[in-house]
Amino acid sequence: MNRADAAEQIVADLRELAALTSDEGGAQRLSWTPVWQQATEWFRRHMEAAGAEVSMDAVGNIWAKFAGESEASVVVGSHIDSVPDGGWLDGALGVAAGMGYGAYCLDGKKPKKTLYVVGWVDEEGMAFGKSCFGSAVASGSMTAQSAASLTTKDGESFADVLRTCGLDGERIDEARAAFAARQVQAYLELHIEQAPLLAQNKTSAACVYGVCGCHREYITFTGQQSHCGSPVALRRDAFLAAAEATVDFNKIALKYGAYCTVGQVDVAPNVVTISPGRCRISLDIRCIDKETFQTMIDEARAAYEGRAREHGVAAAHDVLWHKEPVLFDETLKELCRRAVQEETGRDAVMYSAPLHDAVEMVKAAPSIMMFVMSDPGISHCKEEDTPEPALKEGIRAFLRLIEAVLGR
């Protein structure tokens, strides 16, 4: 099957998966749930029909193998899970594109290298708050020891969650060993952009050369709660310090063309007639440049410490997570650029602010990503979409990339 016909069929497959695993709110493929299991069975059914050898590893990553002339392999995939009320393309696009190449482009022919298609589990981090879970297991970042203490927000243990799907959490390290045995020479991932930049530039696809570093922390401001009739000039208002610091963070992001986000605010005592004595906020900082990334972290801390002093409150921080920026393989980058240019006529290169499984795969194999336009540029909601002509063109570009890396 040629690339154009394959892209048509891949879009049809995506719509089939959406119909199977969505409701009126959107996609509901939360990892290790019955709907997610429906998605993995859908994957298994399609891949076995295409002649692939299908298996699920110890944590729930679903694999399809198309044997090549060599055991050296190329892995193509993304995540098969979703957030609650998610979109029809987030994650699923990359999985379906890999499936489609194996089923429609190979069409029973043996490639030079072995092709593995993977649907990673819990990229979204919905179960335990750990993003890119399945790919982190494969890369070795997540081990049996580090996973053993994980619990859901409802207190369910890691072992119990996996047990509901017939998986054994104690065998988690077997998934890493299985990945290492695959002799992976390259990892390729297609994903929607989840932002409007490509749509604004009327570009259907782009080579992604890297992913922003991500720093997350909680900042707690502690002052003195007081009656709302107390003089404003004499208050030690924790919320006011936090609010002004939040504005400062926004200015830092704009200054460096990067990202600062305060997504959670917890005010105490949260009473109409009391100026708050305590306020805790989250801060998420993202930047593609390593030096600028650290500068932003330093400036953000100087900003909230300064606001704390101005308002006579204390400020303390607790780091939740820190990942340095990731740049993808240069050889794969050039192949990806060429595939985009050959299919679209545009030399489009960009970086990603959201995290993806490819960030974990960099630790284990040369990796690259390609983005497809997202229009209206929003994701993690049922309104997520891409116009079909742009979606098909992006898929065709990615099929070119797979062919270039895999060999025929």
259 and 136 together in one domain: no
261 and 244 together in one domain: yes
Q: Which residues pair with 114 in a beta bridge?
A: 73
Residue set of the binding site: 79, 90, 124, 191, 380
229 and 292 together in one domain: yes
161 and 254 together in one domain: no
Q: Which of 323, 352, 376 is the last residue of a domain?
A: 323
200 and 235 together in one domain: no
55 and 195 together in one domain: yes
Count of domains for the chain: 2
CA 373 to chain centre: 16
162 and 225 together in one domain: no
- The closest of 355, 339, 337 to 393, measured between CA atoms, is 339
Which residues in 131-154 are b (16+ Cβ under 10 Å) and which e? bbbbbbbbbbbbebeebeebeeee
291 and 276 together in one domain: yes
285 and 143 together in one domain: no
> Residue 387 maps to which CATH number?
3.40.630.10
Phi, psi for residue 324 in degrees, rounded to 5: -70, 155
Residues in the chain: 408
Q: What is the pLDDT along the chain (408 residues), one digit of tens a residue?
A: 999 999 999 999 999 999 999 999 999 999 999 999 999 999 999 999 999 999 999 999 999 999 999 999 999 999 999 999 999 999 999 999 999 999 999 988 999 999 999 999 999 999 998 889 999 999 999 998 889 889 998 899 999 999 999 998 889 889 999 999 999 999 999 999 999 999 999 999 999 999 999 999 999 999 999 999 999 999 999 999 999 999 999 999 999 999 999 999 999 999 999 999 999 999 999 999 999 999 999 999 999 999 999 999 999 999 988 999 999 999 999 999 999 999 999 999 999 999 999 999 999 999 999 999 999 999 999 999 999 999 999 999 999 999 999 985
Q: Which of 296, 323, 350 is the last residue of a domain?
A: 323
> Residue 222 maps to which CATH number?
3.30.70.360
267 and 342 together in one domain: no
Q: Are strands 184-192 and 70-79 parallel, antiparallel or unpaired?
A: parallel
- The closest of 247, 318, 240, 308 to 276, measured between CA atoms, is 240
**Chain segment 268-302, per-residue pLDDT in tens:** 999 999 999 999 999 999 999 999 999 999 999 99
Residue set of the binding site for Zn(2+): 79, 90, 124, 191, 380
Q: Are 276 and 225 in contact (CB under 8 A)?
A: yes
137 and 7 together in one domain: yes
Which domain range does residue 295 map to? Answer: 213-323
Q: What is the pLDDT of residue 408?
A: 59
Reading the block at residue 170, the tokens are: 């104690």
Reading the block at residue 203, the tokens are: 């570009």
Q: Report CA Rg, the chain.
A: 23
161 and 99 together in one domain: yes
* Greatest CA separation for the chain: 79
Percentage with pLDDT > 90 across the chain? 93
Q: Which of 293, 323, 353 is the last residue of a domain?
A: 323
Reading the block at residue 41, the tokens are: 């069975």
